[in-house]
Every structure is written in C-alpha cells, then in structure tokens.
A and B are shown apart, each in its own frame.
Chain A
Amino acid sequence: MRLEKCWFCSSTIYPGHGIQFVRNDAKIFRFCRSKCHKNFKMKRNPRKVKWTKAYRRLHGKDMTQDSTFEFERKRNRPERYDRNLAEDVLKAIPKIDKIRVSREERHHKNRMKGNKAKLLNEAARELEQGINLVKPPLVLQQDPSLTLPKIKVQVSQQQAEENRPMEE
C-alpha cells in the first residue's frame, strides 16, 4: 500500500479513493477526487488555482523548504522488514508531524506579522475622518479636544454690512 499525492492539489490519496489517469506517453496522473480530475480535464494549471498546494508554495503562503519534508520523500527501494525499525518509525511519525505543524504555524505567523500595525493605522484614519458618526456635532463644539484645530479666517466688517440687505 502506498499513499500517493494528488497531481492537482497535492493532498494524500488514501487507498480506495480517486482516479488514476494514464496518458499515452505513460505518464500517470493521480487525482484525489473528481474536483481535481475535472479541473485537470479543463486544462487548468494548478500553479494558478488558488486552493492548491502548488499555488500556495509558489506564492510563499506555505513553507517550501524544511527538513521535515525529507522524511516524506519517495523512496523507490523497498526496505527489508525489520521489526525494530518499523517500531521506531511508527513512533517517530507523530513527532515529526507535530514539529512540521508547529513550523508551519510559525511561518504563517511571520507572514501575518505587519497586520496589526496596519489595522491600527487604518482605524485611526477612519476615526479622524468620520468622527461625526461617533459623537454628535454639538458635543464636538463644546469639547475642543475631540476635533481638529480650527483655522480662523479674518472677515472684514464692510463685507458683513453689505450682506445684510441680501438676507432680507
């Protein structure tokens, strides 16, 4: 029994799942489910389809090089069965998984690092522009600390007298 990888989405194919397509040049394409198979038939490139591992690795969303991946490399030579070796391997697999997952989480955290500062900046700007949605204008006038400093414009007395007849 061998756990294969889906050609399109790179997920593991467990026994009993999926379809294997053999092209006439003897290249074998394995698909984990019909979603991947149909996308392949539509001639979509997995490196451009956002939810595949190929895209994520290419665009730096997921880890690319790590020593934990070495354990999962395909080995074509069958190992002679050794009970002790098999026992050690079975014990090691969950440990390696844990390490890999923690490294992936760290990678994700590093990727999302600048977000909090960016969000705070945006929030401050929005607050500045739309403060009237938060507090009514009367309160703003009474409490000068809430608004931006006002710029005084000098209006001459003569202009004020001229405007009075127009108001009538």
Chain B
Amino acid sequence: MAASFASKCSRVGHSLFGGLGNSLSGLVTTSQEIICNKFLSQQQQQRSFIQMRTVLKVVDNSGAKKVMCIQPLKGRKGARLGDTIIASVKEAHPNGKVKKGKVVYGVVMRAAMQKGRCDGSEVKFDDNAVVLVDKQGQPIGTRVFGPVPHELRMKKHVKILTLAGHIA
C-alpha cells in the first residue's frame, strides 16, 4: 500500500512540478511526498481499491464488527465492489459466531470507489463494507444491514441479495 501511495504521489508530483521536475529530482523523496500530500488533500478525495490493510465495516450479524483485508482475491491493484477478499477480524462482538483474530472470507458490499455499471453510469457508496462468507460463498450471518448493490447478482451471491433490505 505504501508503494502504491508513493507511486501515486510521484505521479501527482510529476504533473505539479512539470518544469521544475528535473531540478527537484535531487530532493529527498519524503519532502516531495509531504508537498504532494498537501496538494491531494486540497484537491478531490481520491478513492481507491480495497487492498491489504484496508479496514472494512462488517454489515451482517456474524459477530464481527471490523475486519482488515489481508488479500484481495482477483485483481492486481485490489478488490472492488462485489469482489471477495480474505480478511482478519480485528474487532468483534463478545458473543458472536466469529471471534477476533480469525481469518475469514468476505464479499465487498459497499465500496467508496465508484464502480461502472453496464448502462454507463457509475455508483459509489458512503463507506467500505463487507459481508462475511465461508469458502463456498455462503454467508455466515443471517441478516444484512444497509443497501446492497446489484452487482452481486452477476457474481452469483444471490443468497446475500435475498437477505438484503435495500437493493441499490
């Protein structure tokens, strides 16, 4: 994640300091990153993939509350809406099916990064949320909270769709 962040910073840096790039190349990389950081925060908030170390909210009643992604299955840069990830439970309800420290599979339910739909529009959600599943793809919990995207139908997670309250 640090590597990708640094590469992104350097990309922004190149666009910023176009003419001065040659003279600044000799500078220490940390100072350049700080300058890039400031510019990024003043600009748009860039949403990106769900990758290693991304903390996601759990939106079912499986017992876990927060989960950290340790591996996105499929995808070079990371997981998007509707993809499965391997995650480690960081925070859990005291009496739940899933305990803290357990390694679980999850299906990304809501992603802050926009996903393109087949009609050309794009959808984005408010936060990153996940539903815990087992290796076969069946949900561990029995309820799902919050809106759920259509994309799950294509990925054959029909069971989760039936548990959903709202389908976005």
Binding site for B on A (CB under 8 A): 1, 13, 15-24, 26, 28
Contact = CB atoms under 8 A, between A and B. Distances in A.
Interface in B33-69: none
Contacts, number: 47
A20 B147 contact: no
Contact of A24 (B114, B121, B123, B125): B125
Nearest to B122: A19
B19 interface: no
Most buried by B among A13, A17, A24: A24
B45 to A, nearest CB: 8
A20 B123 CA distance: 5
A85 to B, nearest CB: 25
B166 A26 contact: yes
B125 A18 contact: no
For the side of the interface on B, what is the size category?
A: 10 to 19
Please list the 7 inter-chain residue pairs (A to B) with the smallest Cβ-Cβ separation, ordered nearest first.
A16-B120, A26-B166, A26-B147, A22-B168, A20-B123, A19-B122, A24-B126
Nearest to A28: B168
Nearest to B120: A16
Contacts of A15: 119-121
Interface in B115-156: 119-127, 146-147, 149
B101 interface: no
B42 to A, nearest CB: 13
B152 to A, nearest CB: 14
Contacts of B149: 22
Interface of B: 110, 114, 119-127, 146-147, 149, 165-166, 168
Nearest to A30: B121
B120 A24 contact: no
B124 A19 contact: yes
Contacts of B127: 24
B144 to A, nearest CB: 12
Given A26-B146, A26-B147, A20 B124 contact: yes
B125 A17 contact: no
Nearest to A1: B119
B119 A22 contact: no
Contacts of A24: 110, 125-127, 146-147
A15 B9 CA distance: 34
Nearest to B167: A26
A15 B119 CA distance: 6
Contacts of A1: 119
Contacts of A21: 123-126
Given A15-B120, A22-B168, 18 more contacts: A15-B119, A16-B120, A18-B121, A19-B114, A19-B123, A20-B121, A20-B123, A21-B125, A21-B126, A22-B123, A22-B124, A22-B126, A22-B149, A24-B110, A26-B146, A26-B165, A26-B168, A28-B168
A29 to B, nearest CB: 10
